[in-house]
Structure 1
Amino acid sequence: MKDKLRAYIDSLFSDAPKTRKAYELREELLSNLNAKYDDLISRGYSEEEAYQAAVAGIGDVSELIAALGGGDVFGGPDERQRKKSAMMVALAVMLYIVAIVPVILFHNLAGVVSLFVIGAAATGILVYNAMTQPRYYRADETLVEEFKEWKSANNDRIRLQKNISAALWPLIVVCYFFISFIYTAWAWSWIIFILGAAIDKIIKLVLELKE
């Protein structure tokens, strides 16, 4: 029966572009369909009943397939939301640039503290911007709608992770050179990179656990 499920999914994707994204989407839907089928079997359905119920719960995949060609299956933010997001990202970038100024002006611990405070404020803006982006909510309980909702949330999490990492590592590098030059601490200042990697990993784990 699993072969029959695969054949059904393959038929749905017969007109889909032959790309890696299409393949990954097809395999993801097949995995979800198999999980649904196994759940129905465990609840006492016969193989044929489980197959029919699982297939009926897939929904319309045409939008997902259309998105593989460049369409937007998740709706996306409107023009006002895009402008607001662009302004917040621009402000965060400006703060990251300004964060280096105290390190240049004050060759002491105050410069480092100011760098991290301003950097934290910029990161907070990026996090807030990502968390307030419109999300996709399923229109019904079909497998396709469930997948759309999961994919939208997953895309938001990955985008936020990339933004935070992109902001974190330049600050770590600046801090490394500042401490190394000012305090002549080349023998141990490399530890900053280990701490930075740990912080980056913790942030990723926290975001994944929130899912």
Structure 2
Amino acid sequence: MKDRIKKYVDNLFSEIYETKQLRELKEEISANLLERINDLIASGNSEEEAFKKAVSSLGDMDELVENLKKASQEKLQQNMFEAEALDKKHLIAYITASAILLFGIMTTGIVYLRNKDLMATTGTLMPFLIVSVLIFMYFGLTQETKHSYGMRPGRALLYCLATAILLFGIFSTGFVYFSGRKLFEVVASFMPFVIPSAVIFIYLGLTEKNRTKMNDVWQKQWLEYYSDPKAMMIRGNISGALWIFSFAAFFLIGFTVGWRYSWIVFIVATGIEVLIEGFFMARKKG
């Protein structure tokens, strides 16, 4: 029954771009419907009868939907001409991350000038770089701007977790490489890090929702384009596989041919990503 209620409420507000306030409203309506249905069932109604009566008790929702659309449009137009000031929490976080990074760079420079040891220098930089990157990422993803809504904290933490695993793997693999180990040992040391991080990134990519603040025209186009979940799943799988192979090729070329050439992989991958997006857009229009 919960799934049926969720589907009904989602369809009710399907033409409105989802915001935090709309999610809370949908959750409240769903909870009220479920409570009402349970009461009706307890009174002797069947599940089908209880559902129909509970939905009827909501009344005409058209006015509410139109008001929400109007309010969203007015807020969008207002935000377009107003600067979005950073809240205190994000401001402190960005300053803290910058301070950590700068302190790490200076400390790393001192270590290098003193020891001339690349591994010791890299090991000194690693914790400062990873921590500062994760702070920037988390608060950057959860920040609401005039063009986009902030990401949910739980999803942002998953992105940070995947990034932390990947960064730690890159540093660890670098230590293995510069210690003089064989290539297969270097690649093997990277696998335990790249595989779980790639899995998390693919999951997040497949379940990601557009957070852009859109007007009615953009919203309608977005809903039409992304209304096919099967196509989006295929699109996400192709994209995820592309970037997994790209990272693998980056390290393979770097360790075997040279790091000066390995970065070309990402330019090629970006071009392929654009072609994939163009293919799916053309397919949708066709």
**TM-score bucket (shorter structure):** 0.3 to 0.5
Q: Which has a greater percent of helix?
A: 2
Larger Rg: 2
Q: TM (normalized to structure 2)?
A: 0.37
